[in-house]
Structure 1
Amino acid sequence: MNRSGRERRPLQKSLRLHWQLYLLVLLPIMYFVIFKYIPMFNSVLAFKEYNITKGIWGSPWVGFKYFELFFENPVAWTLIKNTLHISLYQLAVTFPVPILLALALNEIRNGRFKRTVQMVTYAPHFISTVVMVSIIMLFLSPRLGIVNTILNAFGMESVNFLGSSKLFSTVFVFSELWQTAGYSAIIFLAALAGIDPSLYEAAKVDGASRMQKIRHVDLPGILPAAVIVLILSVGNIMALGFEKIYLLQNPLNLETSEIIATYVYKMGLLNANYSFATAVGLLNSIVNLVLLVIVNAAARRVSDNSLW
């Protein structure tokens, strides 16, 4: 029997024995191929003058025309500034809080109280974006919102949070923190659960306090997971999701709430300028990819932890 035949036999045996696992893996692979990889071929639309009758591949080439149009547009730098501002603000707030929450939950010895805190902090993650935006609007309503009711009780004037361009990023970031902090902490709780118990015993023998255990045992134990999460977060800086921001937008806060994602949606779907929107979206993705590679290389050099 030739070498290729010997190599196929173990594969065939593995397929017969573990076909359920292969079938289970096949579904997510199909999802990524159909909805992520195949649509990438249509990015060629960014370099074409789209004609609906000729289709994507039959439309004429225009080179970098739409990339130039975007940078010549005065609104381009405002979009980039708003996207970077909200993304970096979100990263600075939402990255450390789940770590602190996981460390705090790890120190709780009362099981019932710990489960209650986990349920309360995890629950907002499962609320849909539309419902979450409705809750935010109700809470921050200038007349009847609970936040302004509390402010009025202390003798302060009502604040139109969603009508202020200066407050929009703060409203978005802290509502995002409320919605994601508990669920994001699961990763760090899992990392804490994987720490060798003998390290805690050694720290106890050495007379380490609770804070010293956190500093010298817990933090080094979750560092690899934290680095990976940070790399992925930085790699998505320019890919700020538009759903929540778009729903919170209004003419009063548009100055700071208009980001690249919402602009692409409006230009591509509402104005039917598909080539221009594709060019802007492709540029956004390329910047994300470059940032991901740079941060991954920096993390590998500094801490020896990286995605690849």
Structure 2
Amino acid sequence: MSGKTVHPKNADIHAKLRRNRLVKMNIPLMAMFLPVIAFYIVFKYIPMLGLVIAFKDYNFFDGIIGSEWVGLKHFSYLFANAHTRDIIYNTMLLSCLRVFVGFPFPIVLAIMLNEARKLWFKKAVQTLVYLPHFLSWIIVGGIVVTAFAEQSGVVNGVIRLLGLPSYAFLYHEGTWMAIFVGSSIWKEAGFSAIIYLAALTMIDPSLYEAANMDGAGKWRKIWHVTLPGIRPTIILMLILSMGHVMEVGFDHVYVLQNQVVSDVSEVISTYIFKIGLQGANFSVTSAMGLFESLIGIVLVLITNRIARAFDQGLW
């Protein structure tokens, strides 16, 4: 066997030179990433230090360090109080409805847009379904409240034209939850579909050609080629969605809720706002927020573990 042997010292020098060259090539990318790192450090990780007040009787005069340590007192209060248990239940119910009912819509929308053959039609629909994402929940909530108002709403106007009595959609628990979930889907489904559209471009066109040769119709190609092709993306998005099961969102609920449906519309985020910010009870609401985050982490880990059983785990 012939060949030149490379001295270990020379090999180390060459490896170091390659690493330095790669670092220099990626300096612009790393510079672009610095604001992202700074954002997460300043607004995500540093505030975590404040979670210690969940274990203290915090007040402004004594500060975080000087406040009395009370251990799990506030957590005991949360789980012993029937009202807070109802709030946790409402949060999980609304969030699960939003996640599981709304989850298939971006997938269906992406497949429908991918199947559209008229480019002008595809672009027009994409623009219309993407637009709500860029509107704040204040605007979207105003549109929803106006549309479903009992006296002047468009929906009740149509109902009255049909000879039926108007209905207070926003003042009945069942219809309020349906409007909550529907408005969430309307606002976010279009933008979420972008991820699935990107995944669809990665499917090998030869698979569709083979399906055509086998005589597969449109539905069979979607079921046997399209959906398996984007399955890793679907599972990834599901895992990420499970991390937000306890996060219904403050602004969405706040602009739609009213006292009549408070039994189902009072959630953790509105509880933290009313009790923590308006009532200055920071320790209890910090305990609630910590509990919310822990549940989210646990759900992500469980979902990822299940996905790993099918070789589709995130890590």
Report the TM range for the smaller structure's normalisation. over 0.9
CA–CA separation in structure 2 for the residues paired with 1:214 and 1:272: 54
CA–CA separation in structure 2 for the residues paired with 1:132 and 1:304: 39
TM-score (norm 2): 0.92
2:104 is aligned with 1:96: yes
CA–CA separation in structure 2 for the residues paired with 1:192 and 1:253: 41
1:287 is aligned with what amino acid? I
Which of 15, 25, 28 pairs up with 1:20?
28
Which of 56, 78, 89 pairs up with 2:86?
78
TM-score (norm 1): 0.95
CA RMSD of aligned residues (A): 1.9
Q: In the alignment, which residue of structure 1 is the partner of 2:312?
A: 305
- Tell me if the contact between 1:234 and 1:295 (Cα under 8 Å) persists in the aligned partners: yes
CA–CA separation in structure 1 for the residues paired with 2:11 and 2:58: 51
- Tell me if the contact between 1:166 and 1:256 (Cα under 8 Å) persists in the aligned partners: no
Which of 245, 267, 279 pairs up with 1:237?
245
2:135 is aligned with 1:161: no
2:67 is aligned with 1:59: yes
Q: Secondary structure at the match of 2:230?
A: helix
Q: Secondary structure at the match of 1:253?
A: helix
Which of 109, 123, 131 pairs up with 2:139?
131
Task: Judge which range, 266-275 or 9-18, deviates more.
Answer: 9-18
- Tell me if the contact between 2:55 and 2:72 (Cα under 8 Å) persists in the aligned partners: yes
1:115 is aligned with what amino acid? K
State the structure with more CA Rg: 2
Aligned pairs (5 A) from 1:19-58 = 19-58=27-66
- Structure 1, gaps ≥5 residues long: none
- Tell me if the contact between 1:125 and 1:183 (Cα under 8 Å) persists in the aligned partners: yes
CA–CA separation in structure 2 for the residues paired with 1:6 and 1:240: 53
Aligned pairs (5 A) from 1:103-252 = 103-252=111-260
Q: In the alignment, which residue of structure 1 is the partner of 2:301?
A: 293
Which 4+ stretches in 1 moved above 6 angstroms?
A: 1-8
Shift in CA distance, 111/2, structure 1 to aligned 2, threshold 3 Å: closer
- Tell me if the contact between 1:48 and 1:63 (Cα under 8 Å) persists in the aligned partners: yes
- Structure 2, gaps ≥5 residues long: 1-8
User: What is the deviation of 1:138?
Assistant: 0.9
User: What is the deviation of 1:17?
Assistant: 3.5
Q: In the alignment, which residue of structure 2 is the partner of 1:276?
A: 284
User: What is the deviation of 1:280?
Assistant: 0.7
CA–CA separation in structure 2 for the residues paired with 1:11 and 1:30: 25
1:139 is aligned with what amino acid? A
- Tell me if the contact between 2:78 and 2:85 (Cα under 8 Å) persists in the aligned partners: no
CA–CA separation in structure 1 for the residues paired with 2:66 and 2:14: 47
CA–CA separation in structure 2 for the residues paired with 1:260 and 1:249: 13
Q: Quick one: percent identity of the two aligned structures? A: 42
Q: Paired residues, what number?
A: 307
CA–CA separation in structure 2 for the residues paired with 1:98 and 1:82: 25
CA–CA separation in structure 1 for the residues paired with 2:212 and 2:58: 68
- Tell me if the contact between 2:95 and 2:246 (Cα under 8 Å) persists in the aligned partners: yes
2:313 is aligned with what amino acid? S
CA–CA separation in structure 2 for the residues paired with 1:192 and 1:57: 53
CA–CA separation in structure 2 for the residues paired with 1:139 and 1:49: 45
Cα displacement string for residues 227-285 of structure 1 (whole angstroms, at most 9, x for unaligned residues): 11111112211111111101212111111100111111211101000011100110111
Shift in CA distance, 43/4, structure 1 to aligned 2, threshold 3 Å: farther
1:231 is aligned with what amino acid? I
Q: In the alignment, which residue of structure 1 is the partner of 2:273?
A: 265
Task: Judge which range, 221-230 or 14-23, deviates more.
Answer: 14-23
